[in-house]
Chain A
Amino acid sequence: MKRLLKGGRVVDPANRIDGVRDVLIDGDRIARVGADLPADGATVIEIPGGLVVCPGFIDMHVHLREPGQEHKETVATGTAAAVAGGFTAVACMPNTTPVNDDANVTTYILDKAREANLARVYPIGAVSRGSQGELLADIGDLRKAGCVAITDDGHPTKTAMLLRRALEYAGMFGMPVIEHCEDPSLKGDAVAHEGYYAASLGLRGMPGAAEALGVERGILLSELTGSAFHVAHMSARASLRALRKGKDAGVRVTCEVAPHHFTLTDEALAIPVPYDTNTKMNPPLREAADRDALLDGIADGSVDAIATDHAPHHYDEKQVEYDRAPFGIVGLETAVPLSLDRLVHAGRIRLSRLVELLSVNPARILNVAGGTLSEGAPADITILAPDLQVRIDARRLRSRSKNTPFDGWELRGGVAATFVGGRPLFVNAEAVLAMTADVAGAL
C-alpha cells in the first residue's frame, strides 16, 4: 500500500531537511522524500498547514511493567500510550517481575509487543542476574533474543568492578550500558532532593552529588574500557559538568534528560499541593539551578536525548504517605507537549534540535533503525501540531496508570498523528481539524 503525505513541513535533521516536502511511503518503508512528488497510485493525504512531519520519536526509557506488574501497565497499554504520545518506538526497562535477565523474558515481552502491534518495543536487558549485582546476566543470549542495551535500572550497578565487566562484555556486542547513576550511601533512604523544600517538609534529602558521583564513576570506566556508557535520567548540574568534561576528553558517554526535570523543581513538593506523591521520583525534582543547567545542556548539545522514564504506578500505591509512595510518574503522553511548550516555543531550541533529542540520537545510542526519513528507512513518522492548545487530563491518558503531576496543565503543542511501519496508529482528530480550520480561515 502506498501513501503520499503531501505538503507538510518536513524536519529531518539527519538529512538536513527543514521545509515543505512530500513523503512517499511504500508498504512499511519510506520510498521517497521530495518536493511535489507525483501521486502515482498512492493514497494522498494532505498534511494541513502548521503540522510538522518528523522521523518517529523513540522513548529510550520506559517501564512497561510486563511481566509481573500488569496492574500498573502492560505492553499493550504502554505501547498504546506511546503512539498517543507521538512515539513510534520505546525501549523498555528490565526491572519487571521476573527481571528481564533471561532470553525467555525478552521473548515474552517481544511476543506481547507483536500481539499489540502498536509502537515498536526494544527491550533493555539486565546487567546482572536478578539485577542483584553479583553475577553478570547472559548478555549474549539477551542480545540474541532482541535486547538493545543493558542496565540494572532502579538502582546503580552494584560495584565498579561489575560495571567495568559489563562495559567490556556488552561492548563486544556493541551494546551500551545504561546506568541509573547514584551513590547508595549518600542517597540513603532519602525521598527528595536535599534542599530547602525537603528541609521544610521534613523529608530526607539526597544531594545532586550522589548522582554526580555515579556519573563520574561511569565516565572513568567507559574511558578505561572504550565502551559506550549512557547516563539515564540525568538531573543534577554537577552531573552535567562531569558529563561535559567526559565528552570533551573524547569518552563515549551520552545522557538523557526527562521532561519533568527540565520543567519542574523541588518547589513542586510544597506548591500547589504539599506532599503530592506525583512529585516523587528518583532522581528527584531538584532546585532551580539544576533545572536551568539542564535547559542549557539541552540547548548547547551536551544533552543527547529526551527520555521520559515513564513509570506507571497504580492510584492506590501512590495514595499513601510520601515516604511510602513508590518513585515515578508516567510520561509518554506528556513529553511532546512539554517539550514543544517549554523548549521550542520558549525559544531555547529549534524543532530540528528537538527531533535530534527525541529521534535521531536515541536511535543512534541504541543502534536501532530510525531517526531519519531517508529512502528505505522504516516508515516510522511522528506528525506534530506545534500550535495546538493542549490541556493535560489525567483521566484521559491511555496509560493504565494516571500518576502525573501535570494534570490540568495548559500547554502549546501536541501530536497530530503517529505512523509505525507506514500504518497510522494514532490520529488526533482535534489537531487535524483545528489546523484545517486555520488554513481555511487564512484563505
Chain B
Amino acid sequence: MSATVHDVDRQTAITSLRSKDLLGISDLIPEEITLVLDTADAMKEIASRPIKKVPALRGKTVVNLFFEPSTRTRTSFEIAEKRLSADTLNIAIATSSVVKGETLADTALNLEAMRPDMIVLRHSSSGACHLLSRICRSAIINAGDGMHEHPTQALLDAYTIRERKQRLRGLKVAIVGDLLHSRVLRSNILLLTKMGADVWVCGPPTLMPADIRRFGVTATSSVDAAVKDADVIMLLRIQLERMEGAFFPSLREYFNVFGMTEARLTLARPDVMIMHPGPMNRGVEIASEVADGPYSVILDQVANGVAVRMAVLYLLAGGAEHEEAA
C-alpha cells in the first residue's frame, strides 16, 4: 500500500539541508534524510502528470560531470534535472584526457567560468567531490566517488524500502557482498544505521573493511546468520577483478559460501524484500531461481531514482519557500 497523503500541516524540524553540497551520507543527520525522502514523495507524483515538468529550477544550470561511464545514473540525474526545468550540460571525460594531464582541479576551474549552479560529479577517486567542493562555488552532488560514497543511490534504496515497509527503524537489513570496495554499500550502511535499522553485513573477511564494527553494524561471514529473520536483503555484484586480487578463490566458491539460494532465503521473513542494484551475476551472488522468484521484486527503481534525485536537486538549489503571504 503506498504512502497516504498527509493532510496535516506538518511542521518539520528542518526544511532545508545544512550544507551547500551533498558529498555523502556521512554528513547528513537523520532529519535531513527524512526531509529528502518526504520531498521525494511529492516529486514522485510529477511523473504521473500529463506535463511531467515543474518550473522550480528554471534558469539554473546543472552540469553532469562524469569521469566514469554510467548510463543509468547519468540518465536518472538528467531526467530529474529536466523535470525541474533546469538547463543541463553533460560532460563525459574520457580517461585519455585525464592521462593527457588535465587535472580535476583544472577542469573544475574551467567549469567555474561558466558559473554553473550545481555540479553532479562521478569520479574514480575517493574524495574527488571534496576537492571539487573546495574549488567551486557551485553546489556539488556526489554521484559516486571511488570507493567512498554514492549517496543518492542509498537515498533511493531507502525510499524504496520505506515505500514498501512504511519505515526504516527496526528493520533487519542484511547486506551481502563486496563491502570493501563498494561505495553503494558504504552509503547504505551509513544511512540505514542513522535511521535506526538493524544492519548486518556479510562477506569474506578479505572483503570486509577494517574496523567494520565501528560502523554500528553486525559483521559476520555466515550468510545464514545474516539472513535469519531479515526484512530486507541487499545483494551486491561481485566483480571478477576481485578474484584476481586473491580476495577469494573462485566465483563458484563464492556462490557456495555466500550466494543467495532459495534454501537460504527460507530463513528470512516471509515478506522479505530482495534488492539488487543490478546487473546481477546469476550463479555468483544470487541463484537464478531467486532472481526470478516472487521475493525478488522488480522494483520501481527508475521512478524512485528520479524522484529522489529531483528532491536532492530541489533542496540544494535553495528551493525552500520563505515566509510570504498569499
> Residues of A with Cβ closer than 8 Å to B?
194-196, 198-205, 274-275, 316, 319-324
Of the stretches B39-47, B49-57, B210-218, the one at the interface is B210-218
Least CB separation from B127: chain A residue = A275
Interchain CA distance A184-B130 in the complex, whole Å: 29
Interface flags for B108-152 (1: CB within 8 Å of A; 0: not) read 000000000000000101111011000000000000011111000
Interchain CA distance A201-B126 in the complex, whole Å: 7
Cβ–Cβ < 8 Å partners of A316 in chain B? 103, 105
Cβ–Cβ < 8 Å partners of B146 in chain A? 202, 321, 323
Cβ–Cβ < 8 Å partners of A201 in chain B? 126-127, 148
Interface flags for B223-235 (1: CB within 8 Å of A; 0: not) read 0000000000000
Are B127 and A274 in touch, CB under 8 angstroms? yes
Are B127 and A319 in touch, CB under 8 angstroms? no
**Which of B26, B105, B130 is A200 in contact with, Cβ under 8 Å?**
B26
Interface residue B186 (Cβ < 8 Å from any Cβ of A): yes
Known: A321-B125, A322-B126. A196 touches B211 (CB 8 A): yes
Are A202 and B148 in touch, CB under 8 angstroms? yes
> Which of A200, A204, A316 has the largest count of B CB atoms less than 10 A from its CB?
A200
Are A275 and B210 in touch, CB under 8 angstroms? no
Interchain CA distance A205-B212 in the complex, whole Å: 14
Interface residue B104 (Cβ < 8 Å from any Cβ of A): yes
Least CB separation from A204: chain B residue = B147
Cβ–Cβ < 8 Å partners of B103 in chain A? 316, 319-320, 324
A155 to chain B, nearest CB (A): 21
Cβ–Cβ < 8 Å partners of B127 in chain A? 201-203, 274-275, 321-322
Interface residue B209 (Cβ < 8 Å from any Cβ of A): yes
B9 to chain A, nearest CB (A): 38
A111 to chain B, nearest CB (A): 33
B interface residues, tally (CB under 8 Å): 24
Interchain CA distance A204-B130 in the complex, whole Å: 17
**Which of B126, B147, B183 is A275 in contact with, Cβ under 8 Å?**
B126
Are A199 and B104 in touch, CB under 8 angstroms? no
A277 to chain B, nearest CB (A): 9
Interchain CA distance A195-B211 in the complex, whole Å: 6
Are A321 and B210 in touch, CB under 8 angstroms? no
Interchain CA distance A437-B128 in the complex, whole Å: 50
Interchain CA distance A202-B181 in the complex, whole Å: 8
Interchain CA distance A74-B41 in the complex, whole Å: 61
Main secondary structure of the interface of B (DSSP, over half): mixed
Known: A319-B105, A320-B104, A323-B146. A202 touches B126 (CB 8 A): yes
Are B125 and A322 in touch, CB under 8 angstroms? yes
Interchain CA distance A196-B209 in the complex, whole Å: 8
A339 to chain B, nearest CB (A): 31
A265 to chain B, nearest CB (A): 14
Least CB separation from A203: chain B residue = B126
Cβ–Cβ < 8 Å partners of B125 in chain A? 321-324
Interchain CA distance A205-B105 in the complex, whole Å: 25
| 16 residue pairs from A and B, CB less than 8 Å apart | A195-B210, A199-B210, A201-B126, A202-B127, A202-B183, A203-B127, A203-B148, A204-B147, A205-B210, A316-B103, A320-B105, A321-B126, A322-B126, A322-B127, A323-B146, A324-B103
Least CB separation from B134: chain A residue = A273
Interchain CA distance A240-B146 in the complex, whole Å: 34
**Which of B123, B130, B131, B209 is A199 in contact with, Cβ under 8 Å?**
B209
Cβ–Cβ < 8 Å partners of B212 in chain A? 199
Known: A275-B126, A321-B127, A324-B125. A199 touches B105 (CB 8 A): no
Interchain CA distance A322-B127 in the complex, whole Å: 7
Interchain CA distance A322-B132 in the complex, whole Å: 12
A211 to chain B, nearest CB (A): 16
- Extra A-B contacts (5), CB below 8 Å, given A194-B210, A201-B148, A316-B105: A195-B210, A199-B212, A274-B127, A275-B126, A321-B131
B244 to chain A, nearest CB (A): 13
B94 to chain A, nearest CB (A): 17
A286 to chain B, nearest CB (A): 12
Known: A321-B128, A323-B126, A324-B125. A199 touches B211 (CB 8 A): yes
A407 to chain B, nearest CB (A): 14
Interchain CA distance A194-B103 in the complex, whole Å: 27
Known: A196-B211, A199-B209. A320 touches B126 (CB 8 A): no
A35 to chain B, nearest CB (A): 57
Are A196 and B214 in touch, CB under 8 angstroms? yes
Are A202 and B145 in touch, CB under 8 angstroms? yes
Least CB separation from B132: chain A residue = A321
Q: Which of B155-169 contact A (CB under 8 A)?
A: none
Are B131 and A275 in touch, CB under 8 angstroms? yes
> Which of B103, B104, B125 has the largest count of A CB atoms less than 10 A from its CB?
B125
Known: A195-B211, A321-B104. A203 touches B130 (CB 8 A): no
Q: Which of B166-211 contact A (CB under 8 A)?
A: 183, 186, 209-211
Cβ–Cβ < 8 Å partners of B26 in chain A? 200
Cβ–Cβ < 8 Å partners of A195 in chain B? 210-211
Cβ–Cβ < 8 Å partners of B104 in chain A? 320-321
A237 to chain B, nearest CB (A): 16
Cβ–Cβ < 8 Å partners of B126 in chain A? 201-203, 275, 321-323
Cβ–Cβ < 8 Å partners of A199 in chain B? 209-212, 215
Least CB separation from A274: chain B residue = B130
Cβ–Cβ < 8 Å partners of A196 in chain B? 210-211, 214
Least CB separation from A322: chain B residue = B127
Least CB separation from A321: chain B residue = B125
Cβ–Cβ < 8 Å partners of A275 in chain B? 126-127, 130-131
